[in-house]
Structure 1
Amino acid sequence: MANKEAQPSKKRSWAKEAAIQIGSGGSAGFVEVCIMHPMDLVKTRLQLQVKTKGSDPTYYTGIGDCLKKMYRNEGFFSYWKGIVPPILVETPKRAVKFFTFEQYKQLFLFGASAPTPLTFSCAGLCAGFTEGFLVNPFEVIKVQLQSNRKHVKDSPSTMAITKEIIRKHGFGLNGLNKGLTATLLRNGIFNGFYFGFYHSVKSSVPSNPNSTYEFLTKVAIGFCSGSFASCLNIPFDVAKSRIQGPEGHKYKGTLRTIAIVYKAEGFRALYKGLVPKVVRLGPGGAIMLVVYDYMHEYLVSVLN
């Protein structure tokens, strides 16, 4: 893998390079969200729980319990509640993430002839901030949809939720951009480590002619990247869910929300939803980076 990155490539125009990066990133995001969305929903449900165990018959004790109760009370397709906003935004979101990462990477070379781990991390951090600005309104809508515990046939539509948020609160920081700071910090921290770890480790692994070995190695590095990054940014993810959830009026500010959760529910509450998050973003991170790499290779061969 290291040798591949070192090989010179044919010079492409900026527009063609942008098309390759956007096409690769968009494809990677679409595949990942379709496969892993149920785990994102479970994560949000667990993060929104405030009541103590036993005080609510709908309290979820874990991933399996959440999936079982949702199936029984809300139907099989409830596992994909709130998927429309991610589907609508996922292709442009991932396209923006991967495209801006490549642009920021050039900015953060710091005079070096080749990218360093610091280059990858700084580029990932800024790409995460850029991504956060784009996705936050969709996150607000998604969390509202995911928090609804009615049966699928009785649940409000994506459009109904969107209209209600705009009617009551508008487009500002109390409306469609609620929780923006938490989203920026969550995405920035995640992508800073995610890209920094993946590209640094991948470039240090010797290339192997065996395609199966290459594929499995990329999957393993991508899995570790997504898993470790999830552990780092989870407190900001919890804060985001609380601020954007049905009881969001109780929380003001990202750091203040983290402090409120810590004081009222303890340190472990800041890691609510970690297991489903890792279950989603570990494999999801592997899926996304591997799909991106192979789609990138395919588009390069087609457009060159």
Structure 2
Amino acid sequence: MAQLQLEKKNKSFLQDAIIQVGAGGSAGFIEVCIMHPMDLVKTRFQLQVSTAKSDPMYYTGIRDCMSKMYRNEGITAFWKGILPPIIVETPKRAVKFLTFEQYKQFFLFGFNVPTPLTFSCAGFFAGVTEAILVNPFEVVKVKLQSNLKRVKDSPSTFAVTKEIIVNHGLGTNGLNKGLSATIMRNAVFNSFYFGFYHSVKGYIPVQKDPWIEFLTKCGIGFTSGSIASCLNIPFDVAKSRIQGSTNKEYKGTINTICIIYKNEGFRALYKGLLPKVLRLGPGGAIMLVVYDYMHAYLTNTLKN
């Protein structure tokens, strides 16, 4: 009897894991394919140091940045560096949602149902786990995105990865450069993102009209992604500088933030905020809504 119950429990856990991985992976893949151009524009702004208009990396706004990229680098430039996110996005989001569900059980704090604090703590540690997995891909992606040549004249993803490993290794000067900044960026984002979305969604009654329910989830997801982007962007700017700049002064998250603040002012810590919000606002909505619907579909398919 005990053996049968253990087998049922293991089968249930495996099914839940498959559902969470499948739903999270699908959500991440769709989100990155749609929103990658905004991520690229965000990175270009964050790497911008000079205010001289003659500098090829001087951009006055999103439209100016995209126009210069299109004119100088071609239409395919908007998807520069997409291969590392594509490769990692499915397992990354799968890990993000899978670990969130597991951490959620850990942070119940004795309550029978999750509280807003439960969602926030689970999101924070899911972000830490996600960041450790994704950071090497972020290093390669930022290196590719900082290249101003046309795609056909730019080194491949494999060539850039090989160059980093050969010249700098796998440590914090190589493929794990900027790890602490990535951890703080993802942890802060996911803490608010999951905390706000699940807490607010829990207080809003389920709508009978499927379109109203869909739009409600989109609205909560958009708000979650937008506010979380505003909260974590100083860490994102620091990450981009550490991983993409040739300035060797950028070492350590807090040190880099202090250098940027000292040399460029407080507003520099929010460089790329608009394209980041334009990416992670809609992206946040896409990801959570796709996850919810895919989770429901897989649950219905595998458990019924």
TM-score, L = length of structure 2 = 0.95
Deviation (angstroms), 1:124: 0.1
Q: Are the aligned partners of 2:44 and 2:57 in contact in 1 as well (CA < 8 Å)? A: no
In structure 1, stretches of 5+ residues that fail to align are 1-10
**Distance in 2 separating the partners of 1:55 and 1:156:** 25
**Distance in 2 separating the partners of 1:118 and 1:65:** 42
Size of the aligned set, in residue pairs, is 295
Instruction: Give 2:165's aligned residue.
Output: 166
Matches within 5 A, 1:84-163: 84-163=83-162
Are 1:228 and 2:212 counterparts? Answer: no
Instruction: Give 2:59's aligned residue.
Output: 60
Instruction: Give 1:243's aligned residue.
Output: 242
**Distance in 2 separating the partners of 1:48 and 1:250:** 14
CA 244–58 in structure 1, closer or farther in 2 if over 3 Å, else same: closer
Task: Write the letter of the residue equivalent to 2:208.
Answer: P
Instruction: Give 1:17's aligned residue.
Output: 16
Q: Are the aligned partners of 1:53 and 1:61 in contact in 2 as well (CA < 8 Å)? A: no
Instruction: Give 1:51's aligned residue.
Output: 50
Q: Are the aligned partners of 2:48 and 2:57 in contact in 1 as well (CA < 8 Å)? A: no
Deviation (angstroms), 1:250: 2.5
**Distance in 2 separating the partners of 1:219 and 1:254:** 33
Q: Which runs of at least 4 in structure 1 moved beyond 2 Å after TM superposition?
A: none
1:243-296 deviations in Å (ceiling 9; x for gaps): 001325231110000000000000000000000000000000000000000000
Task: Write the letter of the residue equivalent to 2:132.
Answer: F
- Secondary structure (helix, strand or coil) at the match of 1:249 reads coil
Task: Write the letter of the residue equivalent to 2:99.
Answer: T
Task: Write the letter of the residue equivalent to 2:191.
Answer: G
**Distance in 2 separating the partners of 1:100 and 1:58:** 38
**Distance in 2 separating the partners of 1:52 and 1:70:** 18
Deviation (angstroms), 1:58: 4.1
**Distance in 1 separating the partners of 2:157 and 2:208:** 47
CA 109–66 in structure 1, closer or farther in 2 if over 3 Å, else same: same
- Secondary structure (helix, strand or coil) at the match of 1:61 reads coil
Deviation (angstroms), 1:57: 4.6
Q: Are the aligned partners of 1:58 and 1:69 in contact in 2 as well (CA < 8 Å)? A: no
TM-score, L = length of structure 1 = 0.95
**Distance in 2 separating the partners of 1:57 and 1:95:** 38
Which is worse superposed, 123-132 or 240-249? 240-249
- Secondary structure (helix, strand or coil) at the match of 2:60 reads coil
Instruction: Give 1:175's aligned residue.
Output: 174
Q: What RMSD in Å do the two structures reach over aligned CA positions?
A: 1.2
